[in-house]
């Protein structure tokens, strides 16, 4: 049995106003990343500190796959720390992002995350983690509610086509479930409105809860 890891939380000497975590969730192709980047642009233009954590981008580094890690770190390391798309790997993917997003929030950033995050329990766990360190308003769930047929017609990465032919297994919305948020702070009609209009709705909500400084 390994020794228990002994760690201690150290309080910061500098106390900053907290930002918040704006968590975009929805099917692949729903427009999460596009809307999140539109919001980021609007916030940047008005002088608000913000940053986007994008699902695909994060899987190139922090949450890299076994295939990405193995050439540099070896197979044993890659098998232990690399993430795929199984249910447990998705859970760990979201746990890591939640931890990073909370750090950004604590640094005062409006942190926009764009992840399919298909499982309700995983999203609720991040909400609990973030809010336990601040207030209820520190986590804003944004459901980009775009119908499956619209997402599939867009198919920007060709993933739905591969899932339909069986080339990809366990793909959310096809042969793996997507659990829609029950009570999101914001619900966006991703199939019927423009990303720019949807972004304006998010910014208006952030202003209404006092998260914008400018």
CB atoms within 10 A of CB 67: 10
Both tokens assigned to 128: 């609990």
Q: State phi, psi for 188 to the nearest 5 degrees.
A: -110, 135
Residues in the chain, total: 214
- Coil vs helix vs strand at 151: helix
Q: Which residue has the tokens 């994060």?
A: 58
CB atoms within 10 A of CB 87: 12
Residues 212 and 109: their CA atoms lie apart, in Å, by: 10
Provide the annotated active-site residues.
Answer: 117
CB atoms within 10 A of CB 184: 17
What is the 3-state secondary structure of 6-42? CCCCCCCCCCCCCCEEEEEECCCCCCHHHHHHHHHHH
- Coil vs helix vs strand at 82: coil
> Which of 104, 108, 20, 97 is closest to 54 using CA atoms?
97
């Amino acid at each position: 049995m390994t020794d228990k890891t002994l760690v201690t939380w150290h309080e910061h000497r500098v106390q900053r106003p907290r930002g918040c975590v704006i968590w975009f969730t929805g099917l692949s192709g729903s427009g999460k990343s596009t809307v999140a980047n539109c919001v980021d642009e609007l916030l940047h233009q008005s002088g608000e500190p913000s940053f986007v954590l994008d699902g695909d981008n994060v899987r190139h580094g922090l949450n890299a796959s076994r295939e990405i890690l193995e050439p540099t770190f070896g197979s044993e390391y890659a098998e232990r720390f690399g993430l795929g798309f199984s249910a447990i790997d998705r859970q760990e993917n979201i746990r890591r992002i939640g931890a990073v997003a909370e750090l950004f929030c604590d640094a005062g950033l409006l942190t926009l995350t764009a992840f399919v995050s298909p499982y309700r329990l995983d999203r609720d766990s991040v909400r609990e983690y973030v809010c336990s360190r601040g207030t209820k308003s520190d986590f804003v769930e944004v459901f980009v509610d775009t119908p499956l047929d619209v997402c599939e017609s867009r198919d920007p990465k060709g993933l739905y086509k591969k899932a339909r032919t069986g080339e990809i297994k366990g793909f959310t919305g096809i042969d793996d479930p997507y659990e829609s948020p029950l009570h999101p702070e914001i619900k966006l009609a991703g199939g019927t409105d423009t990303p720019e209009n949807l972004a304006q709705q998010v910014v208006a909500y952030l202003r209404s809860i006092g998260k914008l400084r400018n």
